[in-house]
Structure 1
Amino acid sequence: MKITRVETFAVPPRWLFCRIETDEGHIGWGEPVVEGRSATVRAAVQELAEQYLIGADPLRIESLWQQMTKAGFYRGGPVLSSAVAGIDQALWDIAGKHFGAPVHQLLGGAVRERVRAYTWVGGDEPSELREQIGKHVEAGFTAVKMNASGRMSRLATTSEIDGVLERAAIARDVLGPDRDFALDCHGRFTAANARKVLPRLAELNPLFVEEPVVPEYPHLLADVVAASPVPIALGERLYSRAEMLPALQAGVAVLQPDLSHAGGISEVRRIAALAEAFDVPVAPHCPLGPLALAASLQVAFCTQNFLIQEQSIGIHYNVGAELLDYVADPEPFRFHDGYLLRTDRPGLGVDIDEKAVREADGFDSWHNPVWLHEDGSFAEW
């Protein structure tokens, strides 16, 4: 079997899909994207296809992964790692269809029958939280995630700190003692702000607090972890085992690799195995489309130290299109009391509506906001 064609499709709201075709008729789909940089990743996928994929055996997944990540001499980074990730997903999809088995079966078989998922409730405006969380509880979800804050000063004001605590208190009040909430700091805290705020969250018992400081400061992470009585999570902006290792050594409680950023199924499985050696669970990052979620679920079904799955159905970023708009059968993404059920569908387990994807191709206008402090200097979004 040989790869004969590699195509990419930029579709709303902010996703990039990859389609790999073989001479035996098997077609694999993946999702290689950096949000806001889809055109750049699209060019990288095309370059990798021309150099390593066309004419190659798609079942030699590990060999192709090694070539794509290392043969170019300059390695890593979000663009290359995300391009490889989507291609890797598509290759596993082909392998599953070739062997008539779901990817999780090819990776050793299932360790669970269902995957717990959480849903987003925004959080930029605390006044909206109570109603938003209540709707998700009514829908059967047992966990939500929200932004911990809006823009934060370099040294937080009393009002800014109170805003973080107010969000958490509202969530705990609505959810009660048997459901969970997580707070995403989005790297908006400085290390000093993190050390000030995190201890005050302890009595509200968040499931985890995500990315309190930006990932390019790993040397600060151990001190932040030591100051925090609540679990610290991060990993969406780390792209390999090597980049995850310092976070694990610093004592993070939850690792969040992204199946569309961190080298795909192949690398995230290795990241999860590394995390297991530190007694750390993984909660894959996934505010993306159906292929990223399908790949995440395949890993979750066969990974012992999996914790909970992020997913983007109804997320506030989805303007102009939704995850289910591009699938022919929504059943694999149907929630059952906040869980997604294991299926034995081959490959990634999702049927893409190719006509809808081709009609939507050409969208490339999403970019994250640029925030400024009151003095006009850059602020973390």
Structure 2
Amino acid sequence: MKIQNAYVIVTSPGRNFVTLKIVTDEGVYGVGDATLNGRELSVASYLTDHVIPCLIGRDPQQIEDIWQYLYKGAYWRRGPVTMSAIAAVDTALWDIKAKLAGMPLYQLLGGKSRTGVMVYAHANGRDVAETVDRVGEYIEKGYKAIRAQSGVPGLSGVYGVAKGKFYEPATKGLPEESVWSTEAYLDFAPKLFEAVRVKHGMGPHLLHDVHHRLTPIEAGRLGKSLEPYRLFWMEDPTPAENQEAFRLIRQHTVTPVAVGEVFNTIWDCKDLIQNQLIDYIRTSVVHAGGITHMRRIADLAALYQVRTGSHGATDLSPICMGAALHFDTWVPNFGVQEHMEHCPETDEVFPHAYRFEDGYMLPGEVPGHGVDIDETLAAKYPYNPAYLPVARLADGTLWNW
């Protein structure tokens, strides 16, 4: 069996997605997600101009060798563009291999470690009352874990708060700019979670995304102030380039820490895991080299009792979600999976076998990872340039968004 053809599909059913399709000379094909939010065309070009020519004629069943070829053979390793492209190839090849085996991907990985994948929803509101109500709505839907984000008094734009029904931070045209105040946020955040616990009790798992906004000592202060409300995790409390910074956070709080949605390889999280400075690793299939590399990250994490909590926002296509759910069903040291509902247009372009039931996602039983792309429908949604926002302090200093 040989790879006969491969090509990239860029479509925007509600938001931009990049998909790689690999076709064999026996007619079996696989699809992989290559979306990099705000930089989509860079990955599309990397695949079309540099990767696809190297795939034609290769045996699609040699997943490990192809992964190593694309990683080591390029010389310029790592980075979001390279690893998203490798992930797309890897995901498509695992899709092909599982289809050839006639089994759902999780079976090929080693079978189930659990009967369902616990996912967390996003409850957000313009103020505390609205967020508290949204948490209640997701509890009624059966979610056992819920991320809570709220507008902050005095700040016009806050991360995680949707303008409409579906939260999508990327906006058409040039990047939007918002003003950030750490002081206002640190004073406000504990009040949000006090209100959620008063209304909904200690039963639901509550999560919160800081989105890289704090210094290490500020993150320690936040984690300490949130301890009475028993968070499942505090996500991305500070930028992770300097991983020693997380030692300072650990010294000041026992609130669990989750990091890694922007990580691309095992090297980005090696020290955080080995030094037990985090509790959950949030790498995703699409941005961390696919199923092949995610397994290595999870195996390292398991040695230090760090669990997985993969990124799963709408900037990952249903293809990535399908692959992630098969991975989550198998991985022994699973924690939770992020889940944001895609808009109806996206779901139509990417028909999928996975489904939500009583707080859990199930990957489905069809051979492969269970997600496809309707190319005819995808062609009706041309690429629409969009950028993620940027944040500034009140004095104009550029800050971490």
Provide TM-score, normalisation by structure 1.
Answer: 0.92
2:319 equivalent to 1:291 = yes
Q: Which residue of 1 aligns with 2:80?
A: 78
Rounded Cα–Cα distance in structure 1 between residues aligned with 2:120 and 2:362: 14
Q: Which moved more, 1:124-133 or 1:222-231?
A: 124-133
SS at match of 2:307: coil
2:212 to 187, 204, 226: 187
2:361 aligns with 340
Deviations 1:302-328 (Å, cap 9, x if unpaired)?
1110111112205xxx6xx65422233
Structure 1 unaligned blocks of 5 or more: none
The code of the aligned residue for 1:6 comes to: A
Match of 2:332 in 1: 304
Structure-2 residue corresponding to 1:376: 396
Counterparts in 2 of 1:259-298, with a 5 A limit? Answer: 259-287=285-313, 288-298=316-326
Give the deviation of 1:153 after TM superposition: 9.0
2:236 is the counterpart of 1:211: yes
Which residue pairs with 1:168 in the alignment?
Answer: 193
1:109 paired residue number = 111
Cα 1:124/1:88, change in 2 over 3 Å: farther
Rounded to whole Å, the distance in 2 between the matches of 1:174 and 1:323 is 34
For structure 2, the 5+ residue unaligned runs are 153-157, 160-177
Q: Which residue is equivalent to 1:352?
A: 373
Cα gap change, 1:312/1:280 in structure 2, threshold over 3 Å: closer, same or farther? same
CA distance in 2, matches of 1:143, 1:50: 40
- Kindly indicate whether residue 45 of structure 2 is the aligned counterpart of residue 43 of structure 1: yes
Query: What displacement does 1:160 show?
Result: 2.4
CA distance in 2, matches of 1:274, 1:339: 25
Match of 2:11 in 1: 11
Instruction: Map 1:93-108 to 2 at 5 A.
Output: 93-108=95-110
Structure 1 stretch 212-221 or stretch 343-352: which is displaced more?
343-352
Opposite residue 296 of structure 1, the aligned amino acid is A
Letter in 1 for 2:2: K
Give, in whole Å, the separation in 2 of the partners of 1:366 and 1:64: 32
The alpha carbon displacement at 1:250 in A equals 4.5
Q: CA offset at residue 123 of structure 1?
A: 5.3
AA matched with 1:183: H
Give me the whole-angstrom Cα distance separating, in 1, the residues matched to 2:372 and 2:24.
17
Larger deviation, residues 29-38 vs 336-345: 336-345
Corresponding position: 1:363 with 2:383: yes
Cα distance in 2, alignment partners of residues 254 and 265 from structure 1: 18
C-alpha RMSD over aligned residues: 2.1
Structure-1 separation of matches of 2:120 and 2:295:
21
Over 3 Å counting, the alpha-carbon distance change for 1:322 and 1:181 in structure 2 is: farther
Report SS of the residue matched to 2:78.
coil
Q: Identify the range of structure 1 (119-128 vs 285-294) with the bigger mean alpha-carbon deviation.
A: 119-128
* Cα pair 1:334 1:340 within 8 Å, conserved: yes
State how far apart, in whole Å, the 2-side matches of 1:75 and 1:49 are: 14
Distance 1:125 1:91, change over 3 A: farther
Cα distance in 2 for residues equivalent to 1:357 and 1:178:
42
**Amino-acid identity (%):** 30
The answer to whether the aligner puts 1:247 opposite 2:272 as a matched pair is: yes
- Give per-residue Cα distances to partners, 1:79-136, cap 9 Å, x unaligned: 1111111111111001111111111111112222211111112356434202221221
Deviations 1:54-89 (A, max 9, x none): 111111110000011111111001111111111111
The answer to whether the Cα contact below 8 Å between 1:312 and 1:323 also exists between their aligned partners in 2 is no
The letter of the residue matching 1:121 is A
Q: Distance in 2 between matches of 1:234 and 1:176?
A: 26
1:9–1:51 CA distance, 2 compared to 1 (3 A):
closer
- The aligned counterpart of 1:224 is 249
Query: 1:51: how far off?
Result: 4.2
CA contact (8 A) 1:215 1:238 kept: no
Shift of 1:342: 4.5
Report if the CA contact (8 A) 2:355-2:364 is conserved. Answer: no
Count the aligned residue pairs: 372
